Each structure stands twice: as C-alpha cells, then as structure tokens.
Amino acid sequence: MLIAITRAVSRSIVNCELTHLERLPIDLERARLQHLAYEETLRDLGVKVHCLPEEPHLPDSVFVEDTAIVLDECALLTRPGADSRQPEVESIARALAPYRKLFNILAPGRLDGGDVLTVGKRIFVGLSSRSNQVAIDQIQVFLKPFGYTVKSARVTGCLHLKSAVTQVAEGTLLVNPVWVDKTNFPGMRFIEIDPSEQYGANALMVGGRVLTQPAYSKTRARLEAAGIDPLLVDQSELGKAEGALTCCALIFEG
C-alpha cells in the first residue's frame, strides 16, 4: 500500500520563505480547503494518508517533501536550505521511523527534498539556492550500498529541481527546459511544458495517475497528446508560497 505523510497548513504560512516570487496575500482558509481536497484525491487513488498536525510556528511546514527522501530501502532526513525550515525535520523523523532506516544530511550539507528527483535507481539532485554539493556527496555515500546512482543538475530561475522537471510516465519527464538542461537526464523521453506556463512542469505521479494543476491547461494538452490523462488538483493558494503538488506529501510504499 502507498502511504502519504502530509501536514496541515500552518496558520503562519503568510510568513513563508520566498525566493523567486513577490509576496502576495494568502487566504489561509482557501489554502486549507485546497490541501484537504489534495489529500482526498490521494485517498481516492488508494493512498493511506497520515496527516500530521499543524505546526503553528513553522510557516512552510505543509511542504513536507523538503524534509526527507523516502526510498524503498531507507529514508534520508534533509537539512533544509532555509534555516527557518530546519526544525520541520524532527516530527517527520518520528513519522518515518516505523517505516524506514533513517540517515541524516549533516552540516555543512544543505538539501531540500524538492531538489531530488528519483527515477528508478537514478537520483537526480538539483544544485540550487537550497541544496549544495556537500549534501549530494553525502547522498552518494548513503545510497551506494543500495545500488543507486546520484547525479547533480544545475537549476536556474526557479526554487527547486522539481519546479523544473518531474516524472509523468515510465521513462518520461515533464520539463521546463529554460530552468534545467535536458542533457542532465540521458536516456529519458521528454514532454516540454507550454512556454507560457513556466511553473507547469511540477506534476505528481501516484501509481499510474498523474496530478496536475488546472492553471496549466496548455501543458495539460501536451500531456494528453502523449497519452497521459491527468487528474486536476488546484494548489494555487499554496503556489503563492512557492509550493506545488509534489511539495505537499511524502509518498512511499508501506
């Protein structure tokens, strides 16, 4: 069974970290309703959702993806690139401990889970404002015994690697080629976003389905032309906090 760890939206999300977006008002109630709908979509897909309670003093804590990398053999607890987010990891460690052996990214390593794209036994890690080479070197050491290869990919113009590229089918990536070079992913097939929808590359693959946001209709048409029928889930309010579909859950086999 697939398990998803999520967390309720913090009442302090209006104080979230921002890097590439201007600060806009966030409607807390709307953000919470959208997040509940997201969790319900996961349940409809057969995922067991374990929702952690709100962290009132941690504005970005709904974005649980950034705190851990969960693989079949183990989980890596990250060391988020924004200092304000590092306290988020403790409760995620407690939630993951029953399921996986845990490793920790150590200082001076910096890593946000949003910078990690796993495709089978290949791990692609974004070099971004939030993740550094020291963390990538540690990941290589942790995962070498399990047969993973780890490769860095430079990210420009966006917060995380998975803002620029996500997996949408076996061997197929949805990509914004302006933000990450496709040559970083040899052997993969690509669906490029519509250039007018620069944030459209963040999709969430759950089992055999792909979740996308309704705002990216032109990119959705490209997915449909490739034989992918996306489910629409609106996370637009959390998008004002530089969040997206992959950010809001840690999904793994239980």
Among the options 16, 35, 158, 160, which is catalytic?
A: 160
Catalytic residue check, 160: yes
20 as an active site residue: the answer is no
Considering only CA atoms, give the Rg of the chain. Answer: 17
Identify residue 5 by its one-letter amino acid code: I
Specify the residue for token string 């919470």.
32
Residue 47 CB neighbour total at 10 angstroms: 20
Q: Which residue of the set 16, 35, 158, 247 is catalytic?
A: 247
Largest CA distance in the chain: 46
* Range list of H helices, the chain: 28-44, 89-96, 133-143, 161-164, 217-225, 236-239
Give kind and range of the element (H or E) at residue 253. strand 250-253
Enumerate the active-site residues: 160, 247
